[in-house]
Copies of this chain bind each other. A is one copy, B any other.
Amino acid sequence: MRGVILAAGEGSRLRAYSDRPKPLIPLLGLSLIERNILALKECGINEILIITGCYDAEIRDYLGSGRRLGVSIEYLHNPQWKLGNGVSAHTFQQAYRENEKYILLMADHVFAVDLLRAFIKEAEKLEQDRLLLAADNRLDQVYDVAECTKIMAEGGPQAKRLGKGLKDFNAVDCGLFADSGLLQKALAQSIDRGAYALTDAVNLLAAEGKVNLHYVNHYWVDVDDPAAYQHCERVLLRSLVPPKDGFISRTVNRKFSLRITRQLAATKITPNQMTVISFLVAAASAASFAFLNPLIGGLLAQLSSILDGVDGEIARLKFLQSSYGEMFDSILDRYADYLIVLGMAFAWYSSTHQTTAAMLVSAAALTGLPLSMLFKEKYRKLTGKAYVPEINDGRLHYLPANRDGRLFIIMLGGIFNQIPAALILLAAVTHLQCLFRLRAVRRVL
Contacts of A355 in B (CB 8 A): 355
Number of A residues near B (Cβ < 8 Å) is 37
Contacts of A381 in B (CB 8 A): 377, 380-381
The answer on a CB contact under 8 Å between B326 and A378 is yes
The answer on a CB contact under 8 Å between B366 and A324 is no
With the chains together, A442 CA to B272 CA distance in Å?
Answer: 12
The answer on a CB contact under 8 Å between B363 and A327 is no
The answer on a CB contact under 8 Å between A438 and B379 is no
Min CB gap A346→B, angstroms = 8
Contacts of A377 in B (CB 8 A): 374, 377-378, 380-381
Q: Is A345 in contact with chain B by the CB < 8 A criterion? A: yes
With the chains together, A375 CA to B441 CA distance in Å?
Answer: 23
Which stretch of A26-34, A47-55, A167-175, A328-336 is in the interface? A328-336
Min CB gap A347→B, angstroms = 12
The answer on a CB contact under 8 Å between A442 and B382 is no
Most buried by B among A322, A334, A378: A378
Give this chain's copy count: 2
Q: Nearest residue in B to A326 (C-beta to C-beta)?
A: B382
Q: Is A45 in contact with chain B by the CB < 8 A criterion? A: no
> A99-112: contact bitstring with B at CB < 8 Å (1 yes, 0 no)?
00000000000000
Contacts of A425 in B (CB 8 A): none
| A residues in contact (CB < 8 Å) with B | 322-324, 326-328, 330-331, 334, 338, 342, 345-346, 349, 355, 359, 362-363, 366-367, 370-371, 373-375, 377-383, 434, 438, 441-442, 445
Give 6 closest A-B pairs by Cβ, nearest first.
Answer: A377-B377, A323-B445, A324-B445, A323-B382, A370-B370, A338-B367
